Amino acid sequence: MNLFKLSGLVSLLFGTLSCFILLKPQFLIFSLLAAIIGFTFSTINVYLNTKFEITKNGFSIGYIGMILASFPVIFLMVLIVRG
């Protein structure tokens, strides 16, 4: 399996994991940790897609992983604003 597919699947896995961990707000720190890992791999995936133009039609799976990994950060921002 090449690095492009592997980074896409890992970003999707950790993004989904961070969303599931977020269902229990007391584990927010672990959700943020999984989100950082997922966001890193999605950035690698998007970078490789942009550099080598691998996905011609449609979009890269790294974007979905990036959106999923952003949910814990948005949740934390809402908690801070509601304070």
Tell me the residue range of the domain where 22 lies. 3-82
**Span 18-31, average pLDDT:** 96
Please give the mean pLDDT across all residues of the chain. 94
* Mean pLDDT across 6-24: 97
Q: Are 15 and 36 in contact (CB under 8 A)?
A: no
Confidence (pLDDT) at 65: 96
**pLDDT confidence of 16, banded at 50, 70, 90?**
very high
Residue 70 per-residue DSSP state:
H
Q: How many domains, in total, are found in the chain?
A: 1
At 1, the pLDDT band (50, 70, 90 cuts) reads confident
Tell me: the pLDDT tens digits for 54-74? 888 888 899 999 999 999 999
Backbone angles phi, psi at 80, to 5 degrees: -70, -40
Cα-trace Rg, the chain: 14
The CA-atom distances, in angstroms, between 25 and each of 13, 21, 35, 64, 68 are 20, 8, 14, 22, 16
